[in-house]
Amino acid sequence: MSVDLTTEQLDALSDQAEADAEAAEQAALEARTRVERLRGDQDADAPPRKQRRTRWPRWSRAASAVALLCSVALLAAGGLMIKHQQDVAAQERNRAEFAAAARQVVVTLMSIDFNNPQEGVQRIVDNSVDPFRQEFQSAADDFIKVSQDAKVITKATANAAAVESMTADSAVVLVAASSTVTNAAGAQEESRNWRLTVDLQRDGDQIKMSKVEFVP
């Protein structure tokens, strides 16, 4: 069954459809506006959120503490090792200095030339401190007279030296030495061996003899 509409009726129906569409669109817009307003009110009334503080697990803090303690321990151990090495090096230097000084002192003490005994005596005095220096100076004139009368010439060599005891400023050193002797009694560079214990003392920037003993 068909219904024939006039042109006026078709225009009226089209206008009505457009009006209904506009009304529906307006209603949807109003509804969306109300929803956004309500959502904004809820956000305004809600209390502010607290910022959460990051908390490291306990095991992480403990590991950090252990690592720090290990680092401190390693630094301390390294410092002790360096200090020990420095102390050992200083002792070795002192030992070498005292041994060298003892060898030189023995050579000076046992080298005599009657042609110029005063020079030999002065070298001994210059390389000694009290109590040996005072004792030797008191007998220096007799020493010179005996060497001149006997026409003594001795040449000494220090063959070895070993530090028996030592502090920073003193040492006792055992020296093995040999000498050759020429004198008016007929000795012609006769060889003799000696063992001496030499006490040494620092005197300013020098190491000098304070005591000497011949030992078997």
Residue range 170-185: mean pLDDT, rounded: 93
Residue 142 in domain: yes
Identify the weakest region by mean pLDDT among 49-63, 77-91, 108-122: 49-63
Residue 128 in domain: yes
Residue 180 in domain: yes
pTM of this structure: 0.60
Report helix, strand and coil shares of the chain as percent, to nearest 5.
55, 25, 20
Q: How confident is the model at residue 35 (pLDDT cuts 50, 70, 90)?
A: low
Res 142: pLDDT: 92
Q: Which residue has the tokens 């200083």?
A: 90
pLDDT in tens, 184-196: 888 788 889 999 9
Res 18: pLDDT: 60
Residue range 21-28: mean pLDDT, rounded: 63
202 or 63, which is more confident?
202
Mean pLDDT of the chain: 81
Expressed as residue numbers, the domain containing 89 is: 84-214
Residue 1 in domain: no
139 or 77, which is more confident?
139
Res 2: pLDDT: 43
Residue 173 in domain: yes
Angstrom distance (rounded) from CA 116 to CA 151? 11
Residue range 6-21: mean pLDDT, rounded: 56
Residue 91 confidence (pLDDT) above 80 = yes
Res 3: pLDDT: 44
Q: Are 197 and 215 in contact (CB under 8 A)?
A: yes
Residue 194 in domain: yes
Residue 197 in domain: yes
Measure CA 118 to chain center. Answer: 50
Angstrom distance (rounded) from CA 26 to CA 169? 109
Q: Are 167 and 98 in contact (CB under 8 A)?
A: no
Report how many domains make up the chain.
Answer: 1
Res 132: pLDDT: 95
Length of the chain equals 216
Res 25: pLDDT: 65
Q: Are 192 and 120 in contact (CB under 8 A)?
A: no
Q: What is the domain-level CATH number for residue 187?
A: 3.10.450.540
212 or 54, which is more confident?
212
Residue 57 confidence (pLDDT) above 60 = no
Res 5: pLDDT: 47
Res 71: pLDDT: 76
Angstrom distance (rounded) from CA 84 to CA 34? 84
Residue 48 in domain: no
Residue range 70-85: mean pLDDT, rounded: 74
Angstrom distance (rounded) from CA 143 to CA 122? 12
Exposure string over 47-70, b if 16+ CB within 10 A, otherwise e:
eeeeeeeeeeeeeeeeeeeeeeee
